[in-house]
Structure 1
Amino acid sequence: MTNETGKPALPSSRPKRRLTDMSGRLGEMPPLKAAFVVLFVLWWLVLAFFYLFPGVDVAASRAFFEKTECEPTSALAAVCGIFPISQDKALGLLREAIFYLPIGLGIFIIYRLVVVLSHHGATYDGKGARRLLAGLTSLILGPGLLVNVILKEHSHRPRPRNTDFFGGDLSFVPAGDFSGACGSNCSFISGEAAGAGWLFCYAVFLVPDRYKLLFSPPLIAVALASPVMRLAYGGHYLSDVILAWLASVIVFIGTLYFFTRNDTAGSKND
Structure 2
Amino acid sequence: MTNNRLEILYSQVFEQVYPQIRNQGRGVLYTVMHIIFYAEQSRSSSICNYLDIKSSATLEDDRKIVEGLISNPNDSFNIKNINPFKDERKMELFWIVVLACTLTGVYSCYKYLEYTKEQKATQKIAGSTKSSQPAVSPQEPVTQPRQSLTAALCLVVSANAIGNLRKNSQINVSDIEKLIDAASYFLCIEEADSNQLHPKTTDEDIPTDSNLEVYVKIYIDEGQEMIGKKVLYILKRNLPSHGQGVVKQLACLKNLSGLEKFNRV
The TM tier, using the shorter chain, reads under 0.3
Could you say which structure has the greater relative contact order, defined with CA pairs below 8 angstroms and 6 or more residues apart?
Answer: 1
Q: Normalising by structure 2, report the TM-score.
A: 0.21
